[in-house]
Structure 1
Amino acid sequence: MFLFITEITIMVLAIIMGLRTAGALGCGIFAIVAQLIMIFIFGLPPGSAPVTAVLIILYIGIAGGTLQATGGIDYLVYLASKIIERFPKTIIFIAPMIVFLFVFGIGTANIALSLEPIIAKTATKAGIQPKRPLIASVLTANLALLCSPAASATAYIIATLAVTGITMGKYLSIVLPTALLSMLALSLYCTFVGRKRNVQPSVFAENILSDLEEEMIKPHFPRRVKLGVAAFLTGVACILVFGIFSNLVPTFNVDGKTIKLQTTDIVQLFMYASAAVNLVLVKLNTSDILSSHITQSAIGALFAVLGPGWLGATIFGAPQNKHIMTREIGGIIEHVPWLVIILVSLVTIIVISQSATASIMLPILMSIGIPPTFFLAMVQTLNVNFVIPAQPTLLFAVDLDETKQTRATSFIVPGFFVITVSIIIGFTIKSILGL
């Protein structure tokens, strides 16, 4: 047991040091260094690297990066801004809904960065505290991320749980309605809870944020860019259709056995197809794709999954450690299952990254026999990443609010509220579906 605790401690320290040193990329690199220690010093047999999950993240990043390089993301942000500005009085509900839709479709929470100035400006002009829609939107972006078929965290979870029979359809049957209902509960919370103050448009709101409005006046988006956006969203729609309706998935007869095309292969095929369409429609320099924010984020997420995922497979897959997990720790969890919720939340607070946390915790939960649907019901605990203010969307929201009412700590109480609500709703839906 002592050696096992020591190994886990080294793992956690390596991940924290990596995140503090170089973000998601550092997380992966330092985890590989810890892997070296486990093999050469502790004598653990190397586990299986999460190659499938890494490939999924890679082609999602390439497809999203291609869309961003063509200007498709800018076009979507323009459309979102028009919807948000059209309903200023209901911005606490409209803004999170738009953010949810865009994060779900694109697969990155950072698209909220482009929408936050619009949300802050619209709220201020409507006399509403910017703090309220900003908090609701930032937290909603995280909720939506774990639902998106184009998100690296979602792809990793589904790929890892595929061996347990979890399909995209089964995953979304719990996670998607949970996130939507939690989003509505969060908007209600931000509407009624807290001290309300009337906000008057100040010089900051009228002059500084008006620069954004001027940039958004009648921008020109070529027809090819719009077709590229349609191609990407069509790809996401196809992934959803084949993921939900498994009877539509192609099957093959190989050596007398019927083999069905895997969900991970379906995601890969349609993401690359959408990227190909964008490349045909808009001539690009490949460096623009590789340097895009979405591709760079995907590369970071790739290392954040590869390093901790491989390290976790080595530590928790070792025979002696597996025995401890199933017999001793598993016995405790069996009697007090809610401890898993606290454990995942604590790891998320430290690690911050959804993908990295999933790569650490999923092997543990699977090794101690936690049912996969139990994890799906509590999957939003991977979003307890607002305690340590390190998220770009959170920090940008703080900077945008010229009333100074939005602070880094303003997200903690609403954050725990929506996570708690999501857990209650998630287990309720799981029970209703009989999963």
Structure 2
Amino acid sequence: MIWVHLLIVLAAIFLGARYGSIAIGAAGGLGVILLGATGAPVSREDIPFDVIGIIMSVIAAIAAMQAAGGMDWLVALTDRLLRKKPKRITLLAPIVTYLLTLFAGTGHTAFAALPVITEVAKENDIRPSRPLSIAVVASQMAITASPISAAVVFMASVVEPLGVGYLTLLAIAIPSTFLATVATSFLANMLGKPLSSDPVYLERKEQGLIELRGAHEYEERPGAKRSVLIFLIAIIAVVTYAALISENLNIISDPTLPRTEAIMSIMLAAAMAITVLCRIDPSEILGMQTFRSGMSACVCVLGVAWLGTTFVSTHMEAITAFAGSALTAYPWLLAVVLFFAAALLYSQAATTKALMPTAIALGASPIAAIAAFPAVSALFVLPTYPTLLAAVEMDDTGSTRVGRAIFNHPFMIPGIVNIALAVGLGFLFGSLML
């Protein structure tokens, strides 16, 4: 029966990927029904309510900041930085999207930076696919290092019983993913033909399809900087509180507010503070692009993680017998498994929730689990992820294009190299700290 259930899981994932967006989560729900109909026990305990709650609360604060003009202010800073050093755009662009995601806990913040990256590259005769490819990958990688991302918070709950604290996890994840991103940017700068010799670009230019829009026009709203400051204070509060209740410091030994609940409540409070202090209409928050994308992500995590966890819990014994010894002997295999799972599950949080507890149960060491963690960011494999599609659509030079073979797109090589480097650095830093 395991093969029937595996076929149902794969069919549901492929169906969702075929339609994209919220359909991924909807297809996961269909898969859960079929698993239940074929004998798999379905439980609400397999639903990642904590992950969904974190995503919802963080997105509410991000959308409030966007409604107050905070995101536009950050984009204006990005525009100013990239135009000051245009020849280094392939290095600076991924650093910008990495830091935005690290700061916000969601890769959807990259949507705001992608148009700026595209325009600056075109104006300086730089192939846009180079900075765009690594910038999109960097925004996905940073999820596994963000103090407030659902994936990191859940990962911390998995490794803490093994003696690895939240702060130690961040101390390994942040430098390994950031250094890997910077190193990969130099590779990305060598990929693809120069823009001036790209036949697709030359043809589009001759047809008058290339448009240069110039510098980003920005008019600062009164509460823009204030909203960013409030959000930053909220992040500092989350990290500080997590440190105070951690076993490393043990300053608060019996907290009445656990870490997950603290993140959700602090982020919701930040959204309320932005609404009041920046004088925005709460209804505006619901119309923000980040809010729509975030709520779509919640549905995706709900359906896909529920589907994956139901399958794994049903066949835990068979999976343990098949994979337990292999993971113990070859710990790097966990990164390979997470890589392919993330390509199908379309969510770092969903992949972490579905597979990481199983990997630990199979005998994976804390070092192996943390080092392999960046592999859950392989959302670039199928060219249907929202930020990836946005990069393709925004580049009117045609350099950021998907080939006929589907997998031959400019995000693949930077993404694989970035993950490989991050995993290798994770093993290095992990061996030094654990």
Q: Same fold (TM over 0.5)?
A: yes
Give the aligned residue type for 1:90: R
In the alignment, structure 1 residue 263 sits paired with structure 2 residue 259: yes
Cα gap change, 1:403/1:312 in structure 2, threshold over 3 Å: closer, same or farther? closer
272-281 or 144-153: bigger deviation: 144-153
Q: How far did residue 185 of structure 1 move?
A: 0.5
Q: Distance in 2 between matches of 1:38 and 1:163?
A: 31
- Answer yes or no: is 1:406 the counterpart of 2:411: no
* Alpha-carbon offset, residue 58 of structure 1: 1.7
Q: Does the CA-based 8 Å contact 1:239-1:270 persist in structure 2?
A: yes
1:22-421 superposed matches below 5 A: 23=21, 25-42=22-39, 44=41, 46=43, 48=45, 49-159=47-157, 161=159, 164=162, 166-192=164-190, 195-196=193-194, 208-210=211-213, 213=215, 216-217=217-218, 219-222=219-222, 224-244=223-243, 246=246, 251=252, 258-259=254-255, 261-318=257-314, 321-408=315-402, 409-421=409-421
1:235 Cα deviation after fit: 0.7
- Sort the Cα spacing of 1:375 and 1:401 in 2 relative to 1 into closer, same or farther, 3 A: same
Choose 292-301 or 197-206, whichever is displaced more. 197-206
Residue 230 of structure 1, CA deviation: 0.5
Distance 2:35 2:128 in 1: 49
- Conservation of the 8 A alpha-carbon contact between 2:332 and 2:372: no
| Counterpart Cα distance in 2 of 1:259 and 1:403 | 55
Mapped partners of 1:155, 1:293: distance in 2? 24
Moved more, 137-146 or 285-294: 285-294
Q: CA RMSD in A?
A: 3.0
Aligned-pair distance for 1:204?
A: 10
Q: Would the aligned equivalents of 1:330 and 1:368 in 2 still touch at CA under 8 Å?
A: yes
Structure 2 letter corresponding to 1:77: V
Q: 1:354-383 CA deviation, whole Å, 9 max, x = no partner?
A: 233333322432332323442221222122
SS state at 2:399 partner: coil
Q: 1:312 to 1:139 in 2, by over 3 A?
A: closer
Deviations 1:54-104 (A, max 9, x none): 221221121112112222211211122111111112222222222221121
What amino acid does structure 2 have at the position aligned with 1:341? A
Structure 1 stretch displaced more, 127-136 or 177-186: 127-136
1:403 CA drift (Å): 3.8
Structure 1 residue 197: Cα displacement: 5.5
Residues 18 and 26, structure 1, Cα contact 8 Å, conserved in 2: yes
Tell me how far apart the structure 2 counterparts of residues 156 and 150 of structure 1 sit (CA, whole Å). Answer: 10
Give 1:274's aligned amino acid: A
What displacement does 1:47 show?
Answer: 6.0
Describe the superposition over 1:18-69 as per-residue Cα deviations: whole angstroms up to 9, x where unpaired. Answer: 343453x333333333333434540526361322222212211211121122
Query: Unpaired segments of 5 or more residues in structure 1?
Result: 253-257
Q: What SS does the corresponding residue of 1:378 show, helix, strand or coil?
A: helix
Q: Between Structure 1 and Structure 2, how many residues are aligned?
A: 420
- On the 8 A contact 2:400/2:410 being kept in 1, the answer is yes
Indicate conservation of the 8 Å contact 2:134/2:185, yes or no. Answer: yes
Counterpart CA distance in 2 for 1:77 and 1:5 is 48
TM-aligned CA distance change 1:189 to 1:41, over 3 Å: closer
CA distance in structure 2 between the partners assigned to 1:22 and 1:403 by the alignment: 25
Report if the CA contact (8 A) 1:251-1:261 is conserved.
no
User: Deviations 1:87-136 (Å, cap 9, x if unpaired)?
Assistant: 11222222222222112112222322222222222223333332322222
Structure 2: gaps of 5 or more residues: 403-408
Distance (Å, rounded) in 1 between the aligned partners of 2:397 and 2:59: 36
Residue 244 of structure 1 and its aligned partner are, at CA, apart by 4.3
Q: State the secondary structure of the residue aligned to 1:12.
A: helix
Classify 1:44/1:421 alpha carbon distance in 2 versus 1 (closer, same or farther; 3 Å): same
Structure 2: distance between partners of 1:122 and 1:420: 29
CA contact (8 A) 2:62 2:290 kept: yes
Q: For residues 162 and 431 of structure 2, what CA distance do their matches in structure 1 show?
A: 19
User: What amino acid maps onto 2:378 in structure 1?
Assistant: V
Q: Distance in 2 between matches of 1:22 and 1:196?
A: 32
**How much does 1:271 deviate?**
0.9
Tell me how far 1:280 sits from its aligned partner: 0.6
Relative distance call for 1:285 and 1:365 in structure 2 (3 A) is same
C-alpha distance in structure 2 between counterparts of 1:14 and 1:383, whole Å: 20
When normalised by structure 1's length, the TM-score is: 0.86
In 2, the alpha carbon distance for the partners of 1:388 and 1:41 equals 29
AA aligned opposite 2:267: M
AA in 2 matched with 1:242: Y
User: Is contact 1:117-1:209 (8 Å) kept?
Assistant: no
Distance in 2, matches of 1:119 and 1:269, equals 34
